[in-house]
Structure 1
């Protein structure tokens, strides 16, 4: 490392140590009110307490997630916790962003931490004899970040580190690193989390909604829903349009307090664009032409009706090869911007059928459409598509949370299109549960047909016109607003 670069890195780290404590108010407050904590923060702090008490087993934590979901805020909240509740010296807490460091030289987390320990603590990793906390943001700008974390973790038991990244791509390549870390995927906010962060309002309906979805039990969910609706009516500063704004512009703490929808949409689209222009290049060598094709692809996905679509059709639409489409789609899924569902069929048949794609939240899809102009789809149909995306993303986030049990989400691939339902969920060795999503009053023809075809004990209709949870015979009617609390 030449002296000029070394001096630049020293100054960068010195500024981080000096300035981070001073920036906490800007990062953790809005209009004089301190941000509430996401659940993940409350799961991380016990590991910090154990580490300070001498337990050095769980000290390598990774927070993967899409841009704007609140990963950086969690790091600042952890910093605040260390500084103001645990009285840790600021010189023993290092926060930095690999994206910023990458502007000085190619970010190498392992070399940077060795440099930090040598210059600021006069020690090596192997001889470090005091506790140090590393809070490293946008770690994916170091292509070997998971190995860097593994080496730091292995060489010193006196370092506690949290790394954030826009994807977990390297975990697939470095199994040894994966075994040493604790992962907390940071997903877009469901409506329960939104209410907690924005209004400090707590609800515990999630477990009861899971019971409704997978066991058909509605009694507890109905009681919780009644209490919830009553409490929201009396909640201070709660706006009756809050859910509608959450539906089209929410899910991301970065836009939660925007009162102007136009500002919110611009921020959301900038996050989407940054995934393409900043995050994808950290995963693989992309040309500017490929980035353009990626933007065209997400525009096409945002403006189409839900439905399975072949890679060949996508390639024709954006005028590129099937191989390029496969590469882009795979990378976009790893950034968590999009995800797919597979058809409900046997493994052999499933391999031959196309996948259905959805966005991380309906607000992402809506932001893309606002940027490029709405399609010719009627407004009522468009809002129905957004509702379907909300259900799909909520189910996927539930699956990825790993808080309950393993289950799979499929789309209905029955040969008669008008008889298909939107989703089928299934626990291992459990019954297939059909789910129909819609805007406006929904008839029961499709759900009854699917229940008969798949021998389901009950079916679920999620709609924006259903006001409260109702179970009629073996069909459960579930309001979309209540479902979004999942």
Structure 2
């Protein structure tokens, strides 16, 4: 029944190589996760590179782990051929049985299911085969809520999640042939890396754009992509009768990244209930379009009642869908740094001191806390005074020994900063690998 579709989706059975693309920074973690025997769930916004990452893993298994190609099954559950069967809970088992009949694999089997959220019964199928200890699973999905709820209820204690983001500066530099692990080469390529940072702020890191198209067409692609996610991942979940209301709210949010808002203020602005606004924002977040950031407070009640901030999954997408102003560049840098912090898996908050000074980010990893400001530059004395004062207030109240300021380019002629404050160029921080970034962020703890 599915034999032809299976063969078309698995060219590795005929020993045809994949165009595996740029190696992602999270690839080694993915390999480690697979080695645990747990079910691995790869989540992330559409077009961020989840399917490419899966193909890279298939190539790795075949060429470095000597797994027989016939022992690897890949299936994209978003395929149009499967549309009539999405309410049939038996269909995944039938696909698997067709695979066994075609390939007759011997030994351990690796099953890769792409975009599992299109089949509500996928956790039952995966759990039943996983418990045989003969099949390893990697699943991907673009809807965080569906994956997380299904995994919690059906796959508790059996799964590990890995979120994939658009390209980082480090990954983008690697795609351009820069050896990002060679400090000498990175030092020689600083002008080129700074140019790539400018491109990343303008066009973002979605692979289809960052690797191919850097002009107005890029914004057309990014705008179409955002609308596709809204229509295919957000509207069906909410049953929204007026998709244009969703788009207007989304455009407003990405036009105001890093700014404070409340559900009640958005409710008045759009003529919707607080409950509807909250549901819409949760749906945007579950589709990985935006992230909400809470106030950092040891009082949960205060945190819940306080205003929030919002950031876009991608600076290019924010530019494509939002209203652009000259003052945007500092907020775009803040957005870029935020996504990089989320890539590290950190809990991220903003902070308001007792004197009402605002700090961009409070970073939390276990019990460790770090304090960070992000701004375009500190050349203006008043800007420097404001940023440093806010950072010092937060450091004192949270008992942090050091604070971090990330800028596009420090002014080397400026007076030394106050004790405990570290200023670093954005490109330098973003070119660090995961381990070096975490050490830098929490080195005083």
Answer whether TM exceeds 0.5 for this pair: yes
Q: Does 1:433 align with 2:371?
A: yes
The count of aligned residue pairs is 420
Distance apart, 1:257 and its partner CA = 1.5
Match of 2:157, SS state, is helix
Determine if the alignment matches structure 1 residue 196 to structure 2 residue 174: yes
Q: Tell me the secondary structure at the aligned position of residue 140 of structure 2.
A: strand
DSSP 3-state at the match of 1:421: strand
CA distance in 2, matches of 1:467, 1:445: 16
Alignment partners' CA distance in 2, 1:39 and 1:390: 16
Partner SS for 1:481: helix
Instruction: Give the TM-score of the pair, scaled to structure 2.
Output: 0.82
Q: SS at 1:201's partner residue?
A: coil
The alignment yields a C-alpha RMSD, in angstroms, of 3.3
Q: Deviations over 1:146-185 (max 9, x none)?
A: 343222312x322222111113323235334142112222
Q: CA deviation at 1:76?
A: 1.6
Q: CA-to-partner distance for each residue in 1:391-415, whole Å, 9 max, x for gaps? A: 2222222235xxxxxxx43223347
Q: How many Å apart are 1:109 and its aligned residue?
A: 9.0
**1:444 counterpart = 2:385:** yes
Give 1:184's aligned residue. 162
Where structure 1 has 5 or more consecutive residues not aligned to the other structure, the ranges are 1-6, 29-34, 51-56, 205-223, 401-407
Match of 1:480 in 2: 426
Alignment correspondent of 1:300: 252
Q: What are the Cα deviations for residues 341-377 of structure 1, in whole angstroms up to 9, with x where unaligned?
A: 21233322222212111112322211213xxxx35x4
Alignment-derived partner of residue 132 in structure 1: 109
SS at match of 2:384: coil
Distance change (3 Å), C-alpha of 1:410 and 1:365: same
Distance 1:145 1:447, change over 3 A: farther
Aligned with 2:308 (options 347, 355, 372): 355
The corresponding residue for 1:15 is 8
2:219 is the alignment partner of 1:280: no
8 A Cα contact 2:167 2:206, kept in partner: yes
State the shift of 1:92 in Å: 3.5
1:12-42 deviation line (CA, Å, top 9, x unaligned): 22433458758745x43xxxxxx33223333
Seen in structure 2, the aligned counterparts of structure 1 residues 426 and 183 have a Cα distance that, compared at 3 Å, is closer
C-alpha offsets along residues 238-277 of structure 1, whole Å, 9 cap, x if unaligned? 5762221122223222322214322332332233222211
User: C-alpha displacement at 1:137, in angstroms?
Assistant: 1.2
**Any idea what the Cα deviations from partners look like across 1:34-58, whole Å, max 9, x if unmatched?**
x33223333344666x6xxxxxx61
Uncovered stretches (5+) of structure 2, i.e. residues with no partner: 432-436, 438-445
Q: TM-score, normalised by structure 1?
A: 0.76
Is 2:71 the counterpart of 1:92? yes
CA 414–275 in structure 1, closer or farther in 2 if over 3 Å, else same: same
The answer to which of 265-274 and 352-361 deviates more is 265-274
CA distance in 1 between counterparts of 2:99 and 2:387 reads 66
Q: Shift of the alpha carbon at 1:97?
A: 1.3
- Superposed, 1:408-419 pairs within 5 Å as 408-414=347-353, 419=357
> 2:188 matched to which residue of 1?
231
Q: 1:44-81: CA deviations, max 9, x gaps? A: 44666x6xxxxxx6152111111122111012222333
CA distance in 1, matches of 2:235, 2:270: 20
State how far apart, in whole Å, the 1-side matches of 2:110 and 2:83 are: 23
Displacement of 1:385 in angstroms is 1.4
1:167 counterpart residue number: 143
Q: Is the 8 A contact 2:48 2:164 kept in 1?
A: yes
Question: What is the CA–CA distance in structure 1 between the aligned matches of 2:38 and 2:112, rounded to whole Å?
Answer: 12
CA distance in structure 1 between the partners assigned to 2:64 and 2:402 by the alignment: 50
Question: Matched residues in 2 for 1:18 and 1:431: separation?
Answer: 48
Of 48, 53, 57, 1:78 maps to 57
1:149 aligns with 2:133: no
Aligned pairs for 1:250-261 (under 5 A) are 250-261=204-215
